[in-house]
Amino acid sequence: MIFHSDNETGVSPEILEAINAVGAGSAMPYGEDERSRELDRAYSDLFETEVRVYPVVTGTAANALALSTLVPPYGGIYCFDEAHIQVDEAGAPELYSGGAKLLPLPGEQGKLTASALESIFGSQRNDVHFVRPSALSLTQATELGTVYRPGEVAALSELARRHGLGVHMDGTRFANSVAFLDCSPADLTWRSGVDVLCFGATKNGAMAAEAVVFFDPSRADGFDYRRKRGGHLLSKGRFLAAQLLAYLEEDRWLRYARHSNAMARRIADIITQLRGVELTYLVEANLVFVEMETAIRRRLEERGYRLNFWPREEDRCLVRLVAPFNCQDADLEKLRSDLEACTGNDGY
């Protein structure tokens, strides 16, 4: 099951320990406890600017709540046409924004391009019969496992800003992006024009914790009301804060992501060496997309693999393999030998 989704992994020992450390004692409720109060400072340090941080339990809540601060109910949100907010959140952005419209665009390797966006803005309607484009949403790392460079983010944000749009970053795998680029979190976000970041932790070792990070505190006005009325203000907030603080301490967020990226890289190397399976996208984060015959996929499933896949023509399919933060060498070795067996590469 290990390569199916980074949602299936457990909690990292360090984060679990942090949860246990606040387990029994009493504390002020609703984010007024000591640990919750540390969040703004800890994340301001990380991002080298004064930020406001709001923890929630899911990426869907983080994205939808964050977008609702950028977009009026009559607004539109540009995003990649396979973006999580468009195809995997059951209309959460629509709920929280009061009915805004997602405006999906094609991408290259999962990334929106400045030239495509520019041409969209060129032909964009601005009459009241259409919605008013109000936000640009970028996923970092993308749903296809690729990573926007700081310059790409800056170019897209600059275009967005020029047309009056706010910029949202779905950073469910933000750690993997920073690990890949080896850049500063600031360069990849507010210095490149991002207004609000959903900083993911759940897929990278936390139990259930995502941080909505506002780089301009004035943008956060009213966000606490929005979170509360979504049912996302936890009474025992210290359990969320404990996860998000432990995640930052000792650079765990980066260390976990570096590990899963490296493991994904090794999976990609395995794929490259095998006939019958083929990489489809650049492997920059912890996702590996592999095209193969349906028969191969079936053989893998018979060996116990649970796989996310999308049908392709001629009885082929696209399979997504995910390297989790706690992926072990043994897991990789088993994957290699299973792949060899299922592709018929083991006979020589």
21 binds a copy of itself (CB under 8 A): no
CA triple 70-57-288, angle to 5 deg = 85
7 touches a copy of itself by CB under 8 A: yes
Least separation in angstroms between residue 297's CB and a copy of itself is: 17
Nearer to a copy of itself among residue 26 and residue 275 (C-beta):
26
Q: For a copy of itself, give the closer residue by CB, 190 or 247.
A: 247
Least gap, CB of 198 to a copy of itself (angstroms)? 11
Site for a copy of itself in 227-256 (CB under 8 A): 227-236, 239
Closer to a copy of itself by CB, 156 or 207: give it: 207
Q: Which of 56, 160, 211, 254 binds a copy of itself (CB under 8 A)?
A: 56
Single residue of 39, 67, 207, 212 touching a copy of itself by CB under 8 A: 207
- Establish if 65 lies at the interface with a copy of itself (CB under 8 A): yes
The sign of the dihedral angle between the CA atoms of 171, 176, 178, 181 is negative
Q: Between residue 302 and residue 331, which ones bind a copy of itself under the rule CB under 8 A?
A: 306, 311, 324
Closest to a copy of itself by CB, 9 vs 261, is 9
29/150 with CB nearer a copy of itself: 29
Q: Binding residue for a copy of itself (CB under 8 A) from 35, 52, 132, 297?
A: 132
| Residue number with CB closer to a copy of itself (164 or 344) | 164
Which amino acid type is present at position 59? G
- Answer for which of 120, 186, 208, 307 binds a copy of itself (CB under 8 A) is 208
What residues numbered 265-304 form the site for a copy of itself, per CB under 8 A?
A: none
Does 24 bind a copy of itself (CB under 8 A)? Our answer is yes
Q: Cα–Cα distance between 39 and 34 in angstroms, integer?
A: 9
Minimum CB distance to a copy of itself smaller for 232 or for 336: 232
Residue among 39, 46, 70, 94 that touches a copy of itself (CB under 8 A): 94
User: Among 50, 81, 164, 225, which residue sits at the site for a copy of itself (rule: CB under 8 A)?
Assistant: 225
Q: Does 105 engage in binding with a copy of itself (CB under 8 A)?
A: no
Contact 175, 200 (CB under 8 A): yes
Binding residue for a copy of itself, selected from 37, 38, 49, 72, defined by CB under 8 A: 72
Q: Pick the closer one to a copy of itself by CB: 153 or 201.
A: 201
| Candidate residues 46, 62, 155, 212; the one interacting with a copy of itself per rule CB under 8 A | 62
Binders of a copy of itself among residues 136 to 195 (CB under 8 A) are none
Does 347 bind a copy of itself (CB under 8 A)? Our answer is no
Indicate the residue among 115 and 272 with the shorter CB distance to a copy of itself. Answer: 115
Secondary structure of the chain in HEC code, one letter for each residue: CCCCCCCCCCCCHHHHHHHHHCCCCCCCCCCCCHHHHHHHHHHHHHHCCCCEEEEECCHHHHHHHHHHCCCCCCEEEEEECCCHHHHCCCCHHHHHHCCCEEEEECCECCECCHHHHHHHHHHCCCCCCCCEEEEEEEECCCCCCCCCCHHHHHHHHHHHHHCCCEEEEEECCHHHHHHHHCCCHHHHCHHHCCCEEEEECHHHCCCCCEEEEECCHHHHCCHHHHHHHCCCCCCCCHHHHHHHHHHHHHHHHHHHHHHHHHHHHHHHHHHHHCCCEEECCCCCCCEEEEEEEHHHHHHHHHCCCCCEEEEECCCEEEEEEECCCCCCHHHHHHHHHHHHHHHCCCCC
Measured between its terminal Cα atoms, the distance across the chain in Å is 28
Q: List the structure tokens of 137.
A: 């949403």
Size of the site for a copy of itself (CB under 8 A): 76
Tokens for 46, please give them.
């990380």
